[in-house]
Amino acid sequence: MAKVEFYEKPGCAGNARQKALLAEFGHEVDARNLLAGPWTPQTLRPFFGAKPVAEWFNRASPRVKSGEIDPDALGPEEALAAMVADPLLIRRPLMRVGGRCEAGFDQDLVAAWIGLPSRPHGVNEACVRPSAGCGAPGADAKRNDGP
């Protein structure tokens, strides 16, 4: 099975479910703190591939939910600069296996990419605590891993 570099927001219940699913099906998960960086536009950009810029964003981020950041109005350079400055804006998890990178947890995509049963558990990237806004204070672990 695959060794997956898995960039998460520590304390995120959704990321915990995703990691558990990967491990359950034999993948080695190397969990890293997405918020610890240090990210640059060059290290972050490969995770988004051909996705439209608006799909690069964590729609549950407090700054997106409040309307301060409008993912639909930003170009690639502006989006990357905003994400480097505030990693809570980054759609997660970020995953890397070998030379391929992905953002978000589309279970069907992950199944086709590295092997998972197609939707046996219904794990996705939705926040399981939407009222917390995924920027909840106190959820940030002190692990200092980066890209």
Per the annotation, the verdict on 12 as an active-site residue is yes
Provide the token pair at 64: 């997106």
| 40-99 tens-digit pLDDT | 999 999 999 999 999 999 999 999 999 999 999 999 999 999 999 999 999 999 999 999
DSSP class of 100: E
Contacts of 144 (CB under 8 A, 6+ apart): 33, 36
Distance between the two ends of the chain, CA-based, in angstroms?
22
Give pTM, 2 decimals.
0.81
The residue whose two tokens read 């939910």 is 65
In this structure, the chain runs to a length of 147
Q: What percent of the chain has pLDDT over 90?
A: 73
Q: Cα dihedral sign for 134, 137, 143, 145?
A: positive
The active-site residue out of 12, 101, 127, 134 is 12
57-68, pLDDT tens digit by residue?
999 999 999 999
